[in-house]
């Protein structure tokens, strides 16, 4: 029966390897890097959106001011040309000159407001450029992490396939009745179905077992099998 207990432990070790491989398929080590990169990109996208929202009305107003300033100066130039070419009465010329001065002053006012907007837009543009640069770096990191995740998942899937294929050979070393008990225990424990008793504790759930069970395993014949009251695993010494 010693062979049976050894076979149980070998199957338990093998099933533990299968569990780890399945975990590696669903949770590759690089997944954390991928999640961090994705979170960083989401944060940067939010920051970029906020900056662009702040820029939008300022940019629209700047374009409006530039158009208005250009229109005022063009009108002032046209009036100046007419003044130079005019032979009209003094009052008419005076009105035209006054209009020209008003247009120039208006254009200067547009320029002053425009400069104030540029003072605000400058830092916003710098922040946006930084955010976009950071986003490009985060995108590259996400792509690298995604490739690594794919590679790790493929390797884990291949390893899992090998382990699953090898399991029946290990199970054949255990008699049908004991194997059925093992499989039931594994289902109940949501893991492996057998464990070694270590210092009075179940090697599966790590809880202390009753003294009677520990004593039976310690002093019983080779191949003695007990059951952990806590997790239901088959216990061997």
Q: For residue range 38-72, what is the model confidence (pLDDT) as tens digits? A: 999 999 999 999 999 999 999 999 999 999 999 99
Token digits of residue 212: 């009677």
In whole angstroms, what is the distance from residue 225 CA to residue 6 CA? 11
Burial of residue 61 (number of CB atoms within 10 Å: 0-12, 13-18, 19+): middle
Determine the pLDDT at residue 213.
92
Nearest to 97 by CA among 71, 68, 69, 76: 76
Q: What is the separation of C-alpha 1 from the centre of its chain, rounded to a whole number of angstroms? A: 51
Count CA atoms within 13 Å of residue 205 on its CB side. 18
The angle subtended at Cα 99 by Cα 95 and Cα 101, nearest 5°, is 115
Token digits of residue 229: 């009251």
Determine the pLDDT at residue 157.
98
Which residue stretches of the chain have pLDDT < 50? 1-2
In whole angstroms, what is the distance from residue 219 CA to residue 201 CA? 16
Determine the pLDDT at residue 89.
66
Question: Which backbone phi and psi does 192 adopt, to 5 degrees?
Answer: -90, 165
């Amino acid at each position: 029966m010693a062979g049976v207990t050894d076979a149980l432990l070998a199957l338990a070790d093998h099933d533990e390897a299968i569990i780890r491989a399945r975990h590696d398929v669903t949770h590759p080590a690089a997944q954390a890097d991928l999640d961090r990169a994705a979170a960083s990109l989401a944060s940067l996208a939010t920051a970029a959106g906020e900056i662009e929202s702040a820029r939008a009305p300022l940019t629209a107003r700047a374009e409006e001011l530039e158009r208005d300033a250009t229109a005022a100066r063009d009108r002032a130039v046209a009036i100046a040309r007419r003044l130079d070419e005019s032979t009209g009465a003094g009052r008419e010329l005076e009105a035209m000159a006054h209009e020209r001065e008003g247009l120039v002053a208006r254009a200067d006012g547009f320029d002053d407001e425009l400069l104030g907007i540029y003072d605000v837009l400058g830092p916003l543009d710098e922040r946006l450029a930084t955010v976009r640069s950071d986003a490009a770096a985060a995108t590259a990191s996400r792509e690298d992490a995604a490739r690594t995740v794919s590679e790790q998942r493929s390797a884990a899937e291949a390893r899992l396939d090998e382990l699953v294929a090898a399991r029946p050979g290990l199970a054949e070393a255990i008699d049908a009745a004991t194997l059925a008990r093992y499989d039931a225990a594994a289902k109940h424990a949501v893991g492996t179905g057998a464990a070694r008793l270590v210092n009075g504790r179940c090697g599966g759930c790590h809880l202390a077992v009753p003294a009677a069970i520990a004593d039976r395993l310690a002093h019983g014949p080779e191949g003695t099998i007990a059951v952990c009251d806590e997790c239901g695993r088959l216990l061997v010494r």
